[in-house]
Structure 1
Amino acid sequence: MKKQAAVKSKAKVTGSNKTSTPIPLIISPGKVLRGDNILSQSGTEIARLGNRPLIVSGDRTLARVESYLQPIIKQHKLQAEQASYLPDCAESSLEQLQEAAQQHQADFIIGVGGGKALDTAKLLAHQCQIPIVTIPTSAATCAGWTALSNIYSEAGAFQYDVALDRCPDLIIVDYGLIATAPKRTLVAGIGDAIAKWYEASVSSGDSTATMTIAAVQQARVLRDILFQKSPSAVENIQGEDWREVVDATVLLAGVIGGIGGANCRTVAAHAVHNGLTHIPQAHDALHGEKVAYGILVQLRLEEMVQNNQLAVSARQQLLKFYRSIGLPQTLEDLDLGDVSLAQLRHAATIACQPKSDIHRLPFPVTPEQLMAAMVSTTVEKS
């Protein structure tokens, strides 16, 4: 990808006096446990965090993991209570969970589920200032790793994100548990993870900072791993390539965000996702599916506005890859082919709000330009 304008640092250096605003890098969880049926072997590590966990999850997810957790709770004499994160990771849900944590006198949180469940659990632990264990039940996102939570409305529309003061204290990646998730979640996770390269390589600009360079190069490695191993992983659940892709989507994607920090954040792909969440018909599409489509939109914008031929080639490469594993290429693939022009304009306007990450692109974008890109993600290479 073409290097873009550098992101200027606020730090000032004058002679031997150096003054700067400290920018912490919150890179990783305190401990990572991964392996087949590793959850059943994790009781000691979980119990080290406290005696009174509040388990935050959805009802269906909790039923999936109850057989894993109950022996741990019994063996280590944990006083556990359960609470639902629904509806979505919303402010109202967090208020109810704070009350539940207080009433239970919880001394740590166990978050179980997908991205929204884990985001809710992490933010709850952050607000209560108590430890947290994250147990991802699919490979759909890297939410189990990161020090970030997204807040949605009760209707599922993205509102804002919250930077947390640390990554989870413990993340447990149980391949046996993750293998029980629908294949679609793995494909969506690939779409979410591969965005790291297309966004970080733009948002990092011409930065010469060592950690930023390292993060961008790791994003390139992540992209290459996904290109090489995803088709096999999707066809052979629990095979060797599947395990590597799970590690890539759940763990390595989180590493990149931690190492790169603010210089390797989301750009247009996630901004498009955020806009689409304001269309009710889009709520059946998974996070990574909308992000994957958003990458194509970002590249199309680079073609249209900058006549960037590298973006043309990158988009054509992605379209072929998407077809091989089943990621969406168009609004129609997201079941949004029938949305009204007004709905599409509303989503584009949300994505172009002043504080949107879309403005990390090296050129201004209007809602009209974004709409044009959104309806032309599969145009032929000229």
Structure 2
Amino acid sequence: MVQVTRPRTTAIAPSQILRGKGILESCVEVSSLGQRPLVIGGNHGLDQVRSSLQTALAHLSWEEASYAPDCSEASLEKLCSAVQAHQADLVIGAGGGKALDAAKWVGYHCRLPVVTIPTSAATCAAWTALSNLYSDNGTFEYDVSLSQCPNLLILDYQLIESAPQRTLVAGIGDALAKWYEASVSSGQSQDTLVIAAVQQARVLRDILLQKSAEALASPGSDIWCQVVDASVLMAGVIGGLGGAQCRTVAAHAVHNGLTHLPHHKGSLHGEKVAYGILVQLRLEEMLQGSQLAMTARHQLLAFYRQIGLPTTLADLGMAEVSLQVLMQSADVACAPQSDLHHLPFTVVPDQLMAAMVSTTAPIPGRVSCTQQMNGLNEDCP
């Protein structure tokens, strides 16, 4: 008798991806998915795309809806009501990560096709089958896995270039975490797709370390588009291939904890995650004596300073946060359900606090290796 196993569902990629400069206004593919779209975004994101959408959707009956005050349960319920009120047959997300996450969640729950239009390269949210949910005040609560990636992703480089350069820098930080987290949580996996995801994460890291500085110096250039693709698309590929087995670890757990601090809104998602990578590497040094983690951390410190990513709490605008308040963040990051526990060793809040305040600690007995950026150390994790 043949034994039937339960199938595993893998949402790897959007059904269609359109890339190019100035393509949004002439994008006719949207109409193949629906005639009554509801466009979800924040006030700023909607302002960025409204004129282009008026051209692209001129022959469709469409309305706008804001996810404000945040991508929260209350806001998502209102957006589902807006779908019903408009009798929408398509959901379009336009904006940053939270706008796209809100649109994906609403499309999933209302069983409608989804189009994502990122207005910056700050995250890979335009690609993934995942939505992060927050409180109305912006504190991270939990994430939701969705059954599929968006039906259509429109990556308009002209739109991305109009965003502040800081958003691309943050996206580089967020994308870098793919390697430092996936290699720790899934590096020993024998699953073929997870192996592929981890190896792609290594390639992604090398692309970003080698090309980011030049790309940031020449917005709109070919190399700039390559780095945008790496941050938005290639990072999404890794999450799609690896799925739940290719997990976030301490870097995102630190981000989640930081969102519970009073001043967290002064920094972007990818900036907190980039700082979290340094914290994760510092934990590996402190609790496992890892020389590779120490070398990797100093390589990243040089790179962060070169492109403008934060290396300390002060860089995140949290210099005045007391240790008592910071401990609240550490408690959240170390909660039982936290992704931090995908580390191969136990971490308690006091240890996490020690790592958070020593991300720039020097290598004992050595000069800080800021000259390492002349070439990549292939042995670094």
TM-score range, shorter chain: over 0.9
- String of CA shifts for 1:54-112, please: whole Å, max 9, x gaps: 010112221211121101222xx211011001111011111111111100000001100
> Which amino acid in 2 is paired with 1:69?
L
CA distance in 2, matches of 1:157, 1:239: 36
Gap regions ≥5 residues in structure 2: 365-381
Q: Which residue of 1 aligns with 2:324?
A: 342
> Which amino acid in 1 is paired with 2:21?
D
Q: Which residue of 1 aligns with 2:373?
A: none
Asked if 1:59 corresponds to 2:37, the answer is no
Q: Which residue of 1 aligns with 2:174?
A: 192
Alpha carbons 2:13, 2:149 under 8 Å: kept: yes
- String of CA shifts for 1:304-340, please: whole Å, max 9, x gaps: 0000100000001000000100000000100111101
Q: Which residue of 2 aligns with 1:357?
A: 339
Candidates 19, 23, 31, aligned match of 1:47: 31
Q: Which residue of 2 aligns with 1:34?
A: 19
> Which amino acid in 2 is paired with 1:173?
L
> Which amino acid in 2 is paired with 1:34?
R
Q: Which residue of 2 aligns with 1:148?
A: 130
> Which amino acid in 2 is paired with 1:119?
D
Which runs of structure 1 show a deviation greater than 4 angstroms over 4 or more consecutive aligned residues?
A: 16-21
CA distance in 1, matches of 2:291, 2:344: 16
Q: CA deviation at 1:20?
A: 4.5
Q: CA deviation at 1:23?
A: 2.5
- TM-score, structure 1 as length reference: 0.94
Candidates 360, 372, 377, aligned match of 2:354: 372
CA distance in 2, matches of 1:18, 1:289: 48
- String of CA shifts for 1:230-278, please: whole Å, max 9, x gaps: 0011111101111000000000000000001122110000000000000
Cα 1:18–1:204 shift into 2, 3 Å: farther
1:309-348 equivalences in 2 (<5 Å): 309-348=291-330
> Which amino acid in 2 is paired with 1:33?
L
Asked if 1:114 corresponds to 2:101, the answer is no
CA distance in 1, matches of 2:80, 2:189: 40
CA distance in 2, matches of 1:18, 1:235: 58
CA distance in 1, matches of 2:316, 2:206: 25
Candidates 253, 264, 280, aligned match of 1:298: 280
Q: CA deviation at 1:205?
A: 3.7
> Which amino acid in 1 is paired with 2:19?
R
Candidates 201, 207, 215, aligned match of 1:225: 207
Q: Which residue of 1 aligns with 2:378?
A: none
Q: Which residue of 2 aligns with 1:212?
A: 194
CA distance in 2, matches of 1:333, 1:177: 28
- TM-score, structure 2 as length reference: 0.94
Candidates 44, 49, 56, aligned match of 1:72: 56
CA distance in 1, matches of 2:121, 2:216: 12
Candidates 60, 68, 73, aligned match of 1:91: 73
Percent of matched pairs sharing the same residue: 62
> Which amino acid in 2 is paired with 1:293?
Y
CA distance in 2, matches of 1:256, 1:18: 31
Gap regions ≥5 residues in structure 1: 1-15
> Which amino acid in 2 is paired with 1:227?
L
Q: CA deviation at 1:21?
A: 4.3
Q: Please, what is the CA RMSD of the aligned residues?
A: 1.1
> Which amino acid in 2 is paired with 1:59?
N
